[in-house]
Structure 1
């Protein structure tokens, strides 16, 4: 009984925090967050980052841990799977592999649901079931029959189904490639993706009714990402704007970058004085603009012959740029079919010449899978 009271108190505190922080803005979603117990979707535990570990290590936090319940009601993302298969109950000690699934921080979940602008009777397609917590919130708001959720990982989907059933929710759960949507249930009034995307699969646009909304997080391999709300039009195109907030998600698995592999000979190519040094990508908005110029370029820091080099490499295109600093001056050497840093400098220069408008003022148009992004004054 004490645990039940404690859980309800923790949930009430979370509701108030989300409201104070401006994420939870409307009554129906407040009722949903008040009613849905997040801890039921984390019964299998989660991983916490081991402080000071390099590379990052993760340690399991399971249900009998005294920190488990309180952590479930923090406004924080909780990693639930490592390396594609490993869950907290699988290990003792620590693991140094990359996270592959998580329970997104409630503030971001609620913000996205508010931004989706659903209404009674709307049918929603969710890309990425994950733990099922956001699915449960939508079921509470709209009803089970109005919610379809697609998850690529069979085990993740099964755990979500069990948690949802335990809470009394029975939406349609599909195991498959969420980037292909679920055409059998189309058309949908709303589509929401809880993973980062390089491009917007046109299947998601095709499966949304005209006037419907697609909410996605657009990202690139420089890992600056933005939430975008797109309205679908009668002609099969879509348009919209970024919503701001510097959010991030794990990339959809098909959109993960390839291994860097064998690096090119960085002493080849053409060298010149760089207009900008690598410090420009330390700013989120500037990095996003740079990423628009080179969305499939990866960034790595190297040490060669005692000097630090900053590599920007598009593996598939075979194009690269390496920046070096000496006495406060930057040079760039480039090679390949395109000039990566030329494109980055051009985008940043034009954006700054337009007054460096915030990302919320950018306009997005989608006629195929690749969004075209522009800003005022371009």
Structure 2
């Protein structure tokens, strides 16, 4: 791509983001200056309408370049680099430009700020930060050594090799240079119940942490937290929906169903009926977030069988399970529950509490993270923990 064409593509992308109201004026220069295509490998997968579409510079250079400047995510690694893995899960990417712009706006950087980034990926986000603040002000941490190496090469190609890319666990407060960061941004998702305490310890009093957070149950949002003057906690609200890859050290490997149900189904499960269709929860990212925030140790599997979809719910302690059969057109749905907990009743209570509260959006939820080891989700005010009671 010639210099003029590249500049035009960057300017056009920045213009579209500005026109959509997601690109703050202070970031427009960075988006116009940093060439996104320099951070893409010869083959990547453009995430379009829920599908990964292969873009190959060798066979279709025009589409390869066009994809670099569309408002789509670009997958740059599958299965932690295991080329024999069959492309089951994508594990490194360039995020959708809209999400990048929104999170950078949440970060509210000022001249002179030192920024720590967790999750370098291909390096594009670090490049934007470096263009805005100066490469010497940016430290980026990447857990994958191969990805970190490519990011360093990409940053050098963009003329920003002064960015320090550190290989290691971004939750470790001792990793990287000494001194607290004025701003910390994560480009990988943390569990809402396990936001790294090290992020608060790595941040200066009054500093800002911007990070996507999700639940085992599903649903995710961007948290914007401000570190207290004494440095002992960080507190703030969520700013909108977010869907990012989970931090590698927080990936959950669910036990097999047989660990919950040895022998024939339904075992000792108690039968009942419910008027809440689990599909109504599953179809709403926000509803999943509200339920998952209330029940951080509960997850589900969805199993279609013809017209029926059986929802399986489990606890991470491997003590309890439940199923609900969703059948189109029905007003009541068959429930089975086993174990000391009645998981479906807990889920229904959390959903009903959210519903009766007016189905609050992400912006009404907040999070407090304390270096003492607690993470508290709240609704409307830190004094009001989000803790729907179980009947």
- Provide TM-score, normalisation by structure 2: 0.86
Q: Report if aligned partners of 2:298, 2:315 keep a CA contact under 8 Å in 1.
A: yes
What SS does the corresponding residue of 1:291 show, helix, strand or coil?
A: helix
Q: Report if aligned partners of 2:201, 2:231 keep a CA contact under 8 Å in 1.
A: no
What SS does the corresponding residue of 1:195 show, helix, strand or coil?
A: coil
User: What is aligned with 1:15?
Assistant: 14
Alignment of 1:177-326 (within 5 A): 177-181=169-173, 182=175, 184-198=177-191, 199-233=194-228, 234=230, 236-244=232-240, 246-263=241-258, 264-265=260-261, 266-267=265-266, 268-281=268-281, 282-302=283-303, 308-325=309-326
Are residues 1:102 and 2:100 paired?
A: no
For residues 272-291 of structure 1, the C-alpha deviation after alignment (integer angstroms, 9 at most, x for no partner) is 22252202311222121111
User: What is aligned with 2:141?
Assistant: 150
Q: Within 2, Cα distance between the matches of 1:64 and 1:185?
A: 46
User: What is aligned with 1:39?
Assistant: 37
Q: Report if aligned partners of 1:319, 1:340 keep a CA contact under 8 Å in 2.
A: yes
- Structure 1: gaps spanning 5 or more residues: none
After superposition, the CA RMSD in angstroms is 2.6
Which range is displaced more, 318-327 or 298-307? 298-307
- Structure 2: gaps spanning 5 or more residues: 387-391
Q: Report if aligned partners of 1:57, 1:95 keep a CA contact under 8 Å in 2.
A: no
User: What is aligned with 1:374?
Assistant: 378
- Provide TM-score, normalisation by structure 1: 0.89
Q: Within 2, Cα distance between the matches of 1:243 and 1:347?
A: 22
Q: Alpha carbons of 1:262 and 1:349: their partners in 2 closer, same or farther (altered >3 Å)?
A: closer
Q: Within 2, Cα distance between the matches of 1:68 and 1:110?
A: 22
Please, which of 348, 351, 371 is the counterpart of residue 348 of structure 1? 351
Q: Alpha carbons of 1:166 and 1:64: their partners in 2 closer, same or farther (altered >3 Å)?
A: farther
Shift in Å, 1:334: 1.9
Are residues 1:70 and 2:66 paired?
A: yes
Q: Alpha carbons of 1:305 and 1:242: their partners in 2 closer, same or farther (altered >3 Å)?
A: closer
Q: Report if aligned partners of 1:200, 1:370 keep a CA contact under 8 Å in 2.
A: no
Q: Alpha carbons of 1:308 and 1:34: their partners in 2 closer, same or farther (altered >3 Å)?
A: closer
Which range is displaced more, 325-334 or 127-136? 325-334
Q: Alpha carbons of 1:57 and 1:128: their partners in 2 closer, same or farther (altered >3 Å)?
A: closer
Q: Within 2, Cα distance between the matches of 1:369 and 1:226?
A: 21
Instruction: Give the number of equivalent residue pairs.
Output: 367
Shift in Å, 1:335: 2.3
Q: Alpha carbons of 1:21 and 1:305: their partners in 2 closer, same or farther (altered >3 Å)?
A: closer
What SS does the corresponding residue of 1:40 show, helix, strand or coil?
A: helix
Q: Within 1, Cα distance between the matches of 2:224 and 2:19?
A: 24
